[in-house]
C-alpha cells in the first residue's frame, strides 16, 4: 500500500524575523526539518514531498535530493501548499500524512499510530490533536460526541467562547489520498487571513458523508511548534530535556542535565560523566568512562574511553584513551592528543599531533607541530609557526625534552631523545640525542645594585634623578 508524506515548508515564517528560513533554524544543532525527515525514515512511507516556496534554495540545499519538491510560488495558506504537492503524489498512494515543517519534535511512533488509526477506522481524514494548557495562536479542534471532527477554527477566526477550547490542532494529519485531493480542490479563502486553510478540508470531507476523526496525542511536548524565537527556545528546551533523558537512560551520568547541552548527532558511551555546563556539539563522539566538564565545549570532537576534559574547548580534534585535557585548555581543529597524554592548564594546541604519553602541562602553544611519544614540553614553550605570511611545521621526536620557555622557530626539527635547554630559542635542527642551548650568556655584576642605590641617594639629595649609567 503506497504512502506519501507531505511536509509544508513554503512560508518563510515572518514571525521569526530572520533571513534564515524557519524550518532551517536548528534544534539541538540540527535544522528543524531534518528532525522531521529523520523520523519519517523510520515509518513505512514510500514518498516524501516537501513543499517549498520562499527561500527555497536554502531549504533544498539543506534537505538535499532524498525527497521530492513541490514549488508553491505564492504562500496562500496551508491548504494551498498541499494543493501544490498533489500533482506529484504517486497514483498508487493510498494514504497521505501531512506535517508542518515547524513542528520538529514529532516522533515516528506517533506518525505510525496516526496512520494506523486512519486505516483501522477507514477514515477519510484523521487529525492529531493535543490538549494544551496554553492554546494561544493555535487552531481549536471541535469534536462531536461520536469522536468525529466538526471543524477547526483558527484563533483569528474564533469567537471568545471558541477560544476557551484547549483541544488544539497539531498540524499533523493522515488522509485517504484520494479524498484529500478532491477536498483540497474545493477549498476557498473565506477567513480572516484570506488563505486556503488545510483545516477546512476536514468539514468538507464530513459534508461528503466521510468519516473524519480526531486522535489525541498523550505527550503534547511532541507537537510543540515554532512560530517565533520565544517558541524556538521553548522547543529547544523540550528537545534538550528529551535528549538528556534518553542519554541518562542509556548509561550516561549528568550532574546537572538542565545546563548540559548535547547535540542531536552526538554519541556518548556508558559510564561517562558530564559535569554542569558541558556543551557537546556537531558530530562529537565520546567514549566510555570519560569525564567531561564542567564548563567545556566540544565540537566535532572524538574522545576515546577514559579521557578527562575539564574547563576546556575542543574543536574538530581527537583525544585519545586515558588522555587528560585542561583545566583551561584550547584544542583547535586538526589536533590529536595521544593515549595517556596530558594537556594542562592554559595550553593552546592547533593542528598538532601530541604523541602517546607526552605532556604539555602548562602555559604553552603548539601549532602545526608533530610531537612524538613520551615527550615533555615544558612550561611556556612556544612553536613559532607563523612569520606573518606563512605557517611552518615543527617536529619533536620521541623521548625528547623541551625546557621551559623555549621558542621553537619553525620550520624546525628536534630529533629523538634530544634535550633543549630551558629558555632556548631554537632555529636550527637539533639532531637525535643532542643537547641544545640557545640563549644569551648571563652577565653578573657583583655589588652593582648596592652601588647604584647609593648613587641614587646622593643624586636625590642633590635634587636630580639619574640612571644614566644604566
Residues in the interface with ligand UD1 (CB under 6 A) total 31
Q: Does the footprint of ligand UD1 cover residue 102 (CB under 6 A)?
A: yes
The H or E element spanning position 35 is: helix 32-40
Q: Does the footprint of ligand UD1 cover residue 27 (CB under 6 A)?
A: no
List the single partner that 54 binds among Ca ion, ligand UD1, none, CB under 5 to 8 Å by kind. Answer: none
Site for ligand UD1 in 154-173 (CB under 6 A): 154, 168-171
Dihedral of the alpha carbons of 237, 252, 291, 260, in degrees to the nearest 10? 10
Cis-peptide, bond into residue 294, ω within 30° of zero? yes
Q: And the C-alpha cell for 386?
A: 607563523
Nearer residue to ligand UD1 within complex by CB, 205 or 412? 205
List the single partner that 9 binds among ligand UD1, Ca ion, none, CB under 5 to 8 Å by kind. Answer: ligand UD1
Q: Does the footprint of ligand UD1 cover residue 78 (CB under 6 A)?
A: yes
| DSSP character string of 39-54 | HHTTS--SEEEEEEBT
Burial class of residue 403, CB neighbours in 10 A (0-12, 13-18, 19+): buried
Nearest approach, Cβ of 171 to ligand UD1 (angstroms)? 4
**Distance (Å, whole) CA 339 – CA 90:** 55
Residue 317 CB partners (closer than 8 Å, separation 6+): 301, 302, 331, 332, 333, 334, 335, 336, 337, 349
CB crowding 35-70: b at 16 or more within 10 Å, else e: bbbebbeebebebbbbbbbbbbebbbeebeeebebb
Among 198, 292, 369, 396, binds ligand UD1 (CB under 6 A): 198
List the single partner that 198 binds among ligand UD1, Ca ion, none, CB under 5 to 8 Å by kind. Answer: ligand UD1
Q: Does the footprint of ligand UD1 cover residue 31 (CB under 6 A)?
A: no
For 109, list phi and psi in degrees, rounded to 5: -60, -35
Choose among 421, 431, 396: nearest CA to 411: 396
Return the HEC string of 140-178. Answer: EEEECCCCEEEEEECHHHCCHHHHCCCEEEEEEEEEEHH
Nearest approach, Cβ of 27 to ligand UD1 (angstroms)? 14
Please give the residue ranges that form the binding site for Ca ion (CB under 5 A): 102, 225, 227
Only segment of 6-14, 204-212, 235-243, 390-398 that touches ligand UD1 (CB under 6 A):
6-14
List the single partner that 272 binds among ligand UD1, Ca ion, none, CB under 5 to 8 Å by kind. Answer: none
Site for ligand UD1 in 130-149 (CB under 6 A): 138-139
Among 101, 125, 287, 320, binds ligand UD1 (CB under 6 A): 101
Q: Does the footprint of ligand UD1 cover residue 222 (CB under 6 A)?
A: no
> Do 263 and 282 touch, CB atoms closer than 8 A?
yes
Nearer residue to ligand UD1 within complex by CB, 156 or 245? 156
Nearer residue to ligand UD1 within complex by CB, 78 or 284? 78
Site for ligand UD1 in 55-74 (CB under 6 A): 72
List the single partner that 330 binds among ligand UD1, Ca ion, none, CB under 5 to 8 Å by kind. Answer: none
List the single partner that 372 binds among Ca ion, ligand UD1, none, CB under 5 to 8 Å by kind. Answer: none
| Interface mask toward ligand UD1 for 308-337; x: CB under 6 A | ------------------------------
| DSSP character string of 336-349 | EE-TT-EEEEEEEE
Nearest approach, Cβ of 3 to Ca ion (angstroms)? 24
Q: And the C-alpha cell for 62?
A: 539543506
Catalytic site residues? 362
- Residues within the interface to ligand UD1 (CB under 6 A): 8-11, 23, 51, 53, 72, 75-78, 80-81, 100-103, 138-139, 152, 154, 168-171, 197-199, 225, 227
Amino acid at each position: 500500500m503506497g504512502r506519501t508524506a507531505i511536509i509544508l515548508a513554503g512560508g518563510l515564517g515572518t514571525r521569526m524575523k530572520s533571513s534564515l528560513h524557519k524550518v532551517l533554524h536548528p534544534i539541538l544543532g540540527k535544522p528543524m526539518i531534518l528532525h522531521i525527515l529523520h523520523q519519517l525514515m523510520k515509518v513505512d512511507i514510500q514518498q516524501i514531498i516537501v513543499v517549498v516556496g520562499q527561500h527555497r534554495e536554502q531549504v533544498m540545499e539543506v534537505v538535499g535530493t532524498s525527497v521530492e519538491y513541490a514549488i508553491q510560488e505564492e504562500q496562500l495558506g496551508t491548504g494551498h501548499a498541499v494543493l501544490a504537492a498533489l500533482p506529484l503524489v504517486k497514483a498508487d498512494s493510498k494514504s497521505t500524512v501531512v506535517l508542518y515543517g515547524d513542528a520538529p519534535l514529532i516522533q515516528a511512533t506517533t506518525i505510525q499510530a496516526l496512520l494506523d488509526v486512519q486505516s483501522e477506522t477507514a477514515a477519510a481524514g484523521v487529525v492529531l490533536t493535543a490538549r494544551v494548557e496554553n492554546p494561544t495562536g493555535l487552531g481549536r479542534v471541535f469534536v462531536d460526541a461520536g469522536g468525529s471532527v466538526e471543524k477547526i477554527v483558527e484563533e483569528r477566526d474564533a469567537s471568545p467562547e471558541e477560544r476557551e477550547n484547549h483541544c488544539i490542532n497539531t498540524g499533523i494529519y493522515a488522509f485517504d489520498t484520494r479524498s484529500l485531493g478532491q477536498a483540497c480542490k474545493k477549498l476557498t479563502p473565506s477567513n480572516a487571513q484570506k488563505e486556503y486553510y488545510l483545516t477546512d478540508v476536514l468539514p468538507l470531507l464530513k459534508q461528503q458523508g466521510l468519516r473524519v476523526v480526531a486522535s489525541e496525542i498523550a505527550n503534547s511536548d511532541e507537537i510543540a511548534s515554532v512560530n517565533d524565537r520565544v517558541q524556538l527556545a521553548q522547543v529547544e528546551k523540550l528537545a534538550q530535556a528529551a535528549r538528556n533523558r534518553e542519554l541518562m537512560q542509556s548509561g550516561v551520568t549528568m550532574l546537572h542535565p538542565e545546563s548540559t547541552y548535547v547535540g542531536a548527532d552526538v554519541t556518548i558511551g556508558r559510564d561517562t560523566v558530564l559535569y554542569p555546563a558541558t556543551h557537546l556539539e556537531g558530530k562529537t563522539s565520546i567514549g566510555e568512562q570519560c569525564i567531561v566538564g564542567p564548563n567545556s565545549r566540544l565540537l566535532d570532537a572524538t574522545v576515546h574511553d577514559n579521557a578527562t576534559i575539564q574547563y576546556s574547548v575542543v574543536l574538530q580534534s581527537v583525544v585519545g584513551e586515558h588522555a587528560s585535557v585542561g583545566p583551561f585548555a584550547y584544542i583547535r581543529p586538526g589536533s590529536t592528543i595521544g593515549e595517556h597524554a596530558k594537556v594542562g592548564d592554559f595550553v593552546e594546541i592547533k593542528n598538532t599531533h601530541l604523541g602517546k604519553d607526552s605532556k604539555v602541562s602548562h602555559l604553552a602553544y603548539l601549532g602545526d607541530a608533530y610531537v612524538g611519544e613520551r615527550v615533555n614540553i615544558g612550561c611556556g614553550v612556544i612553536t613559532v609557526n607563523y612569520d606573518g605570511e606563512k605557517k611552518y611545521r615543527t617536529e619533536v621526536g620521541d623521548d625528547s625534552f623541551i625546557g621551559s620557555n623555549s621558542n621553537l622557530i619553525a620550520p624546525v626539527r628536534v630529533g629523538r631523545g634530544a634535550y633543549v635547554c630551558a629558555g632556548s630559542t631554537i632555529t636550527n635542527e637539533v639532531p637525535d640525542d643532542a643537547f641544545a642551548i640557545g640563549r644569551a650568556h648571563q652577565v653578573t655584576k657583583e655589588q652593582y645594585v648596592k652601588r647604584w642605590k647609593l648613587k641614587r641617594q646622593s643624586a636625590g639629595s642633590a635634587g636630580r634623578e639619574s640612571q644614566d649609567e644604566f
